Amino acid sequence: MFSGRLSDLTKADVERVIASEIAEGLDVEFKRSLPARSGEDPWMTGGRIGDEAKDQLAREIIAFANTDGGTLIVGVGEDRITKRAVGPLRPIPRCKDAANSLLQALGQRIEPRLPVFECEAVITEDDDDGGVIIMRVLSSYLAPHRHTQDRHCYVRRGDASEPMSMVEIQEATKRIAGRREQIDAAFEESANRFFQWIPSEFQRTNPVRSVQSTYRTGSLPSSEQWVGSWALRITAKPFSPLPASGIVSGDKASLLSFPSLKGKGQQGVLQLLGLSTIRTWQPRLRSTERAFDGANLMGLDRLSSEGQIDRFVFVTYPEDRPPTYMFISANELMWHFASVIHFANEVRAKCFRPSQGFALEVELLASIALCVEPYAGLVGRSRAVIPPHRVAFPRYEVAGVEQFDQVLTAFDQDMWNSGGFHADWDLSLNWPDV
């Protein structure tokens, strides 16, 4: 119903729903006001939101999450016969406070917790107080979800939310298990493609699949130069396929620039230094790819027609003789990770799925140990040495923009932990608008 963020909606967007006569259905629900067992909810007269409103709205959201996702608007009525939205708007007082209260209350009434759930107020009145409340949830990869109060799982049937039968619960569980298997298969396929992309002289297969050091002819004909290497793969797989074929086959010039990312966190400015060439996107089988390179660096970005994003990075480390370890910049690693998050945000916005969740997998290969160069201001406080061969980081989830800093900080802490150091700081960026 809405292609952008709910937090960006205006009164005109809500009025457009009524003017377009959008009808309730599998993924749309209207509520004239906060549901109440009798009369009106206490919130309408200055009290607190009642349990009936919280319970009923939670049922609707659970049903959407267990089916194909959907949008619920409180403050817009519907025609009893046609189920189409009708005016006038019925503003909820103190709607911003009400939306915040419902966000917390519904979260406590749904288990397992929804990966993505938006609940925003849209001011529609001149007093800057009254307005409608809009909730949106995607089809959940953690389904089936159930109501913590009545213990029922709900599903959407037509324009109604009804309890699921045991057979439906079993089928939903099988379907979600199948989706997880698809994500696992996508990550494995990406890891195989990544390894084959690494130059063959640096490929290592025993005892684990990784990268290795090699020797090349030095500056003098009789001399040899040691060359170490490290490689990074970041894969972002949408929990549900995205309709990205139009992006893959169309104009991709605006996709993922190479920005410097600033913020208030410990990271300062995240950027990729030494980048010299960014090539144009090239069509591939059901995907598009773009190469980039710099000093001792080569990289590849890939976007599939279903919205999967891959970033491959390979770096050589030449020295006259084998060192104790190679150096790797924490700033550079975090820039790559943050760029893929930003890329995922751009892709889902262009696919009109601004809340689509992604699973992220990160793989780091190194021929010898990697000493992490700290962020500015941390000299003397931090020293981490990541062991050689292969580090597979825990999987991460990317959902709403408000969670991006949390995911970034989680990866930062895991990176330092893998090198034997505890990071006690947060990362925070001013994420570019999409």
Domain ranges of the chain: 6-164, 182-418
With both helix axes pointing from N to C terminus, report the angle between 95-108 and 51-66 in degrees, rounded to the nearest 10. 70
Mean pLDDT, the chain, rounded, equals 90
Taking only the tens place, the pLDDT of each residue in 127-178 is 989 999 999 988 887 789 999 999 999 999 999 999 999 998 998 888 778 8
Between residues 412 and 382, which one has the greater pLDDT? 412
User: Look-up: residue for tokens 């800093």?
Assistant: 405
Pick from 404, 402, 353, 346: nearest CA to 7: 402
The domain defined by 6-164 folds into 3.30.950
Question: pTM, whole model, 2 decimals?
Answer: 0.72
Taking only the tens place, the pLDDT of each residue in 300-337 is 999 999 999 999 999 999 998 899 999 999 999 999 99
Which pLDDT belongs to residue 220?
Answer: 61
Looking at residue 303, its amino acid is: L
CA distance 247 to 204: 35
> Coil, strand or helix: which one is 330?
helix
**CB-based contacts of 296, cutoff 8 Å, min separation 6:** 274, 315, 316, 317, 318
Rounded percentage of the chain residues whose pLDDT exceeds 90: 63
What is the pLDDT confidence band of residue 372, given thresholds at 50, 70 and 90?
A: very high
